[in-house]
């Protein structure tokens, strides 16, 4: 189970006058600080998938970076299985599989070498790494390019390899930041099917997306972040009920309400 309560994070702005007109009008800009995340709370139980929604710049990626321990919150707490990510980041990091917006693969290494390297960082044995890579290669359809250097990969190849790398150590929680962005229909469906398998295995998954069809297909829970605050946090059914018949309108209603 993952539980986030009262999360907040601000960043110093050296020269507010250099910000765009839209950024200068953002109510989160207060003096020389931009409060990217102001008050975010959510939870996701074992075997659930939570869709994290919000307009561009709402604070989703900052929230996920705090969840991954890449950033330390200014306030609030994040607990995975009762353990605080904030107070014990090194311990918590072992239980998280995180895919950021950029794959960050080492281009001179093959896909297999990239995945194996992260397995080694997590203290896995060579035998365990080999077995897990073969399993993931089958699930994510990596076999045809796994031993090619990543420099020559397509966007879909890179994304699927990065997902395999993120889950090589069998994490307790999987966090995916827009995992299907830039993928063709076939590659995107492979990723969605993999998320369903994680769910069936009892692993909680949090993923941000702009595709509401993915939310309808996968999610048990939905959280909408708007201007750095939780505008909605509830079940998919509760989200659908906001404006029956249209997830788009449900989303827009939350954003509109949050901005007033």
Q: Residue 168 carries which DSSP code?
A: T
3-class DSSP state for residue 84?
strand
The shares of helix, strand and coil residues in the chain, as percent rounded to the nearest 5, are: 40, 25, 35
Least confident stretch, 89-93, 113-117, 162-166, 242-246: 89-93
For residues 50 and 223, is the Cβ–Cβ distance under 8 A?
yes
pLDDT of residue 47: 93
Per-residue confidence band for 92, with pLDDT thresholds at 50, 70 and 90 = confident
Q: Is the pLDDT reported for residue 225 higher than 90?
A: yes
The pLDDT of residue 22: 78
Q: What is the pLDDT of residue 200?
A: 93
- Given a cut of 90, is residue 25 above it in pLDDT? no
* pLDDT value, residue 94: 85
Which option is the CATH number for 2-95+171-258: 3.40.630.30, 3.30.429.10, 3.40.50.150, 3.40.50.300? Answer: 3.40.50.300
Measured over the CA atoms of residue 147, residue 180, residue 196 and residue 201, the dihedral's sign is positive
Task: Tell me whether residue 67 is exposed, middle or buried, using C-beta atoms within 10 angstroms of its C-beta: 0 to 12, 13 to 18, 19 or more.
Answer: buried
State the pLDDT at residue 17. Answer: 77
Contacts of 102 (CB under 8 A, 6+ apart): none
**pLDDT at 51 > cutoff 90:** yes
The pLDDT of 74-93, averaged and rounded, is 89
| Tally of CA atoms within 13 A in the half-sphere of 256 that contains its CB | 7
The per-residue pLDDT for 182 is 82
What pLDDT score was predicted for residue 103? 63
Main-chain dihedrals φ then ψ at residue 40, nearest 5 degrees? -115, 130
pLDDT in tens, 98-138: 988 766 899 999 999 999 999 999 999 999 999 999 999 99
Closest CA to 195 of 156, 233, 168, 163: 163
Q: What is the pLDDT of residues 138-182, one digit of tens each?
A: 999 999 999 999 999 998 899 999 999 999 999 999 999 989 888
- Angle of helix 111-121 relative to helix 126-139, nearest 10 degrees, comes to 130
Whether 225 and 40 have beta carbons less than 8 Å apart is answered as yes
How many percent of the chain have pLDDT more than 90? 75
1 — pLDDT class (breaks 50, 70, 90): confident
Average pLDDT over residues 228-238: 97
């Amino acid at each position: 189970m993952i539980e986030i309560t009262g999360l907040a994070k601000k960043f110093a702005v050296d020269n507010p006058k250099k910000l765009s007109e839209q950024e200068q009008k953002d109510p989160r800009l207060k003096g020389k600080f931009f409060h990217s995340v102001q008050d975010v709370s959510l939870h996701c139980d074992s075997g659930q998938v939570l869709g994290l929604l919000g307009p561009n710049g709402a604070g989703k990626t900052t929230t996920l970076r705090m969840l991954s321990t890449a950033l330390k919150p200014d306030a609030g707490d994040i607990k995975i299985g009762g353990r605080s990510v904030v107070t014990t980041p090194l311990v918590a990091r072992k239980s998280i599989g995180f895919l950021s917006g950029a794959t960050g693969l080492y281009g001179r290494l093959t896909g297999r070498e990239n995945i194996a390297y992260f397995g080694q960082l997590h203290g896995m044995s060579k035998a365990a790494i080999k077995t897990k890579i073969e399993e993931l290669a089958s699930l994510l359809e990596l076999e045809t390019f796994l031993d090619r250097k990543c420099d020559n990969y397509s966007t879909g190849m890179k994304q699927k390899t990065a997902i395999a790398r993120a889950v090589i150590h069998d994490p307790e929680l999987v966090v995916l930041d827009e995992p299907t962005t830039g993928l063709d229909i076939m590659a995107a469906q492979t990723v969605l099917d993999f998320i369903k398998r994680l769910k069936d295995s009892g692993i909680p998954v949090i993923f941000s997306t702009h595709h509401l069809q993915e939310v309808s297909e996968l999610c048990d829970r939905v959280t909408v972040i708007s201007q750095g605050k939780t505008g909605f946090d509830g079940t998919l059914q509760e989200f659908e009920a906001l404006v029956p018949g249209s997830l788009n309108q449900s989303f827009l209603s939350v954003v509109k309400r949050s901005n007033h």
